[in-house]
Amino acid sequence: MSYTSSAVAADVPLESSSSAVSWGAIVAGTLAATAITLIFILIGSGLGLTMVSPWSHDSSSLTTVGASAAIWLIVVQWVSAALGGYLTGRLRAKWVGIHTYEIFFRDTAHGFLAWALATVVVAGLLGSALSSVVSTGAQATATAVGAVGAAGAATAANAGDGSGGFSPAYFTDALLRPANAAAAPANQSAPGSQSNEAVSAEVSRILLNGVAAGELSADDRTYLDQLVASRTGLSEADAKARVDAVLKRIDDAKVAAQKAADTARKAASAVALFGALSLFVGAFIACVAAAIGGRQRDEDEERMALLQR
C-alpha cells in the first residue's frame, strides 16, 4: 500500500521553483527599444528642422510638418517594439519540458512586458512632450469656452482696480454718460473734448462688455454712434456704418478664434486616439516579434544539438 502511494506521489509533476519570467531578456529588449526610440526621435527632429524655414516660400506647411511628425513617431514606435520584442525572444532562457502552446504564450508575454517597460521608460524620458500633446485638447477646449470670459477678464484688467476681478468701471461710465455724446452740461466735459486715452478706454470697456454679453445694448450702441461721430467728424449715418463694420470685424475675429480652437481640439483628439491605436499595434508587434525570436532560438538550439550528435 505504501509502495502504491509512493508511486502515485512520484508520478505527480512537481511545480518548478524557477520563475517563468526571464527578466534579463525583458530588460535587454527594453534597453534596445528605448535606445532605438531616442535615436530615431533625434533623426526625426533633424529631418523636421529641414522642413521649417524662416522664409515662407522654403518652409513646409504646418499640416505637412505635423502629419510627417505623427507618421514618423508611429513608425519609430513600431520599429522599436519589433526590435525590442525580437531581442527579448532570442535572449530568453530555453524552457524544457513545456508544451509548445505554453512556450508561445510565454514568448508573447515576454514581448508584451518588454514593450510595456520600454513605453514607461520613454514616457518618463519624454514626459514633458507627451504632457504637452495630451493637454492640447484641454487647452483648446478652454480657449473656446473662455473666449467670452476672457473679454470680461480684460474689462476688469483695464479698469485697474484690485477688487478680485470685478470692475464697476463700465457701470460707472454708464452712470456718468451724457445724454448726447457731442454735448454735455456746463459742469461736465463732453466726450469729444476728453483725451484720446480716456475716450479709448471708455470705448474699449463698452466693446468688451458687448463681447462678454454677446451683443451691445441699445443704449451702448446709440452712445457709441454719437461718440464716434463727435470724435471723427463723420455724419451720424457714416458713424453708424463704421461702428457696424467694426462690430462685424469683432464678431468675425471671435468666430475665427472659436473655429481655430475647435480645430485644435479635434486635432488633439485625433492625435490621442491614433496614438493609443499606435501603442496597441506596437504591443501586438512586440508580442509577435518575441514569439518569432523565441521560436528561432529554439530551432537553432535543436539544430545545434542534432549536429553535435
Determine the Cα–Cα distance for residues 227 and 182; give it in Å rounded to an integer.
7
Helices (H), the chain: 2-11, 23-50, 62-91, 100-125, 127-145, 147-159, 169-176, 196-213, 218-232, 236-308
Q: How confident is the model at residue 306 (pLDDT cuts 50, 70, 90)?
A: confident
Q: Is the pTM of this model over 0.85?
A: no
Residue 170 has pLDDT above 70, yes or no: no
Cell digits for 209?
Answer: 462688455
Kindly report, residue by residue over 171-189, the tens digit of the pLDDT: 556 544 555 655 544 444 4
Residue 156 confidence (pLDDT): 42
Of the pLDDT bands very low, low, confident and very high (cuts 50, 70, 90), residue 168 is low
Average pLDDT over residues 190-199: 63
pLDDT at 8: 45
For helices 196-213 and 236-308, angle between their N-to-C axes, nearest 10 degrees: 60
| Cβ burial, residue 116 (10 Å; 0-12/13-18/19+) | middle
